[in-house]
Amino acid sequence: MTNTPAVPTNSPRILIVGAGGIGERHLRCFQLTQQCAVSFCEPKESLREKIAAQYAATPYATLDAAIECGPFDGAVICSPAQTHIPLARKCVAAGIHVLIEKPLSTDLEGISELEQEAAFANRVVRLAYIYRFFPAIQRARHILQSGVLGPVRHIGIISGQNYPSFRPDYRDIYYAHREQGGGAVQDALTHQVHAVEWMVSPVESIVCHARHQVLEGVEVEDTVNLSACLKSGAMASFALNQFQRINESIFTFHAAKASLRVEFPANRVGVTSQDGSQWIWEQLPPQERDAPFIDQALDFLGTLRAEPGCGCTLAEGVQTLRVNLGALQAAREKREILL
């Protein structure tokens, strides 16, 4: 059994809804904050028993059973994407603040109702876009928004990973089904799109090509080229695949006065020299993989105390969902989509 960190008496009670791969990570990372008591609900009995034993967390078979035994202060929705909105609305109705895994949903149904219900109940709804808690992204955003480089005019994102190594069970989980939030657009590209929207400006139009190229056992797209115009006037291109052997992402922002680059896994931020002949790098310390998830958990717990944070708001999550849906529509219909 994992050693469960002790938590202070009267700490917030957090419920993890869904104990799959990302649900287990959230459970572990909320426990590691040592600022809350964590329970979870999971319908699969074998998985429920395994997670309960490993983390000494109170298990429930369903969200209804958990709410009945509550109260809970916050819930983290980690179920398949098409269930996010109904489950979030149920939590808000029970007086529970909510953190929802990306993507927010696979369509827009029920979202306006969630927005109204959360506002009426004064409940916080956040989206778990983890790039907001990467120190390199935070540092780059600070530089870009300071204005020292001038307005950003062109952005290029090149990213990829070997998904069979990263998630060897990809054929058997949500990823294999677009209606559950699967495929490269909703699974991976959404992170980079959201990061750019947070760092620079929301997207307003899209052209997209998305195809299944390599991954065995699935039919969803594993390769995406997306071109976007932002509301700020900047243009952006995103190139992503989920089969390349090396796991790396390179974000490049060309502004009026200089260029900025973020590189992962090198975890460094660079700005071009005054004469433009080289990159001047700022090396950030290495991070354990759980570190940004712990920071995200701390941020969400802070919002429960009405503290300001940097987590993704519901409105921002809806905007990125519209990009997801627009990208899939643009690829399907082979035309530009205005959001």
- Which sequence spans correspond to the domains of the chain? 13-128, 133-286+319-338
pLDDT digits 0-9 by tens, 216-229: 999 999 999 999 99
pLDDT digits 0-9 by tens, 71-113: 999 999 999 999 999 999 999 999 999 999 999 999 999 999 9
| CA 109 and chain centroid, separation | 20
pLDDT score of 337: 98
Cα 198 to Cα 21, 103, 210, 323: the distances in Å are: 26, 15, 23, 13
Peptide bond connecting 202 to the previous residue in cis, omega within 30 degrees of 0: no
Cα 129 to Cα 71, 133, 317: the distances in Å are: 26, 8, 8
Cβ of 2: how many Cβ atoms within 10 Å? Answer: 14
pLDDT band at residue 70, thresholds of 50, 70 and 90?
confident
pLDDT digits 0-9 by tens, 280-301: 999 999 999 999 999 999 999 9
Are 174 and 182 in contact, with CB atoms under 8 Å apart? yes
Mean predicted lDDT score pLDDT of the chain: 96
Are 149 and 260 in contact, with CB atoms under 8 Å apart? yes
For residue 332, give the H/E element and its range: helix 314-333
Residue 2 has pLDDT above 90, yes or no: no
CA distance 194 to 298: 21
Are 269 and 262 in contact, with CB atoms under 8 Å apart? yes
43's tokens = 């319908």
pLDDT score of 4: 66
CA distance 93 to 123: 9
pLDDT score of 5: 65
pLDDT band at residue 3, thresholds of 50, 70 and 90?
low
Q: Determine the topology of domain 13-128 in CATH.
A: Rossmann fold (3.40.50)
- DSSP structure string for 269-329: EEEE-TTSSSEEEEEPPP--TTHHHHHHHHHHHHHHTT----SEEHHHHHHHHHHHHHHHH
Are 159 and 270 in contact, with CB atoms under 8 Å apart? no
Peptide bond connecting 71 to the previous residue in cis, omega within 30 degrees of 0: yes
Three-class SS of residue 89?
A: helix
Which class in CATH covers the domain with range 133-286+319-338?
alpha beta
CB-side neighbour CA atoms (13 Å) of 47: 13
